[in-house]
Amino acid sequence: MPKSPLCLALLVPVALAATPIAAECDGKNLGAGVTLAEPTAIASILDSPESWVGKDVRVDGKVQEVCEMAGCWMTLVADAGDGRPIKVQVEDGDIVFPVAARGQQAVAQGKVEKIEMSRDKYVRFQKHLAKELGKEFDEKAVVGDGPFVVVQVRGTGARVCS
């Protein structure tokens, strides 16, 4: 049975609305770029990291922070999420996330990692993070004895939307 022009006209806007942000994001590819079509919700990864560890994911969001020292990581916050950021970490020099990306939309791809740390290692980690952001660090802000868990995406590619 042939489709009427009205049915076809209604399908086109729906198809365009479902286009992933990676296709809409016309920024420069960083690293290997983003090849996964569908994003994974940041909250899903943070709520059940065991389900995602070792899997390739694409995360979309607004760039909250960027490493000021080497551009080796950025944090993304989902527009429709609960405000919790996820860190996209790369090896120094593999990708350099531009500090000017703060506040812009971005997409990133990589494998989910879950890292458990003792209190001492976590304090050193937080101190280093603060230094990379040019901020002061107060060890008293770290509450508890651990273990502390960090969930992040080991980035292979990204795109900052322009």
Sketch the domain layout of the chain as residue ranges: 5-160
Q: What is the mean pLDDT of residues 87-103?
A: 93
Q: Does domain 5-160 have CATH number 3.30.70.260?
A: no
Q: Which long-range contacts (C-beta less than 8 Å, at least 24 apart) are formed by 120-126?
A: 122/146, 122/148, 122/150, 125/150
Is it true that the peptide bond before 20 is cis, omega within 30 degrees of 0?
Answer: no
Does residue 117 register a pLDDT over 60? yes
The larger pLDDT score, comparing residue 46 to residue 10, is at: 46
Alpha-carbon gap, residue 71 to 132, rounded angstroms: 9
31 versus 1: the higher-pLDDT residue is: 31
Buried b (16+ CB within 10 A) or exposed e, 71-91: bbbbbbbbeebeeebbbbbbe
Predicted confidence (pLDDT) at residue 134 exceeds the cutoff of 50: yes
